[in-house]
Amino acid sequence: MFHPKCVNTGNPFPGSIKDLHRMTKRKARLHKKAKITNNWDTYKRYQKHCKKDFKKAEIDYINNTIQSGLDENNTKPFWRYVKSRRKDNTGVAPLKKIGSTYE
């Protein structure tokens, strides 16, 4: 009986994921070519293009998710997003040296 090693779990980011994946592969090819030819202009231009499109796709996905939740009187997607964006500032851990702590 055949048992696959990898299981396709589906698409974690719905929408234009195929286009973004294609762009990532093209960017990798351009990077490889730029390393060989030492001509980085095309790669840098395409890298900016990819970054802009990825950011737009992320914003669209977030807006659609939050908006669909609010349309159904469900605030959970909004608060889930807020919680994921929160950054805790824990600072630097105290320095320790064989039994003593420097502050």
- Residue 61's pLDDT is 86
> What are the sequence ranges of the domains in the chain?
17-83
**Is residue 42 within 8 Å of residue 34, measured between CB atoms?**
yes
pLDDT band at 12 (very low <50, low <70, confident <90, very high): low
Contact of 27 with 43, CB cutoff 8 Å: yes
d(CA 43, CA 46): 5
DSSP 8-state secondary structure symbol assigned to residue 88: -
Residue 87 CA from chain centroid, whole number:
16
pLDDT at residue 16 greater than cutoff 80: no
pLDDT tens, position by position, 19-55:
888 999 999 999 999 999 999 999 999 999 999 999 9
* Distance between CA atoms of residues 79 and 71, nearest Å: 15
Q: Which residues pair with 97 in a beta bridge?
A: 100
Backbone φ, ψ for residue 83 (5° rounding): -65, -40
Lowest mean pLDDT among 16-20, 70-74, 81-85, 99-103: 99-103
Burial of residue 52 (number of CB atoms within 10 Å: 0-12, 13-18, 19+): exposed
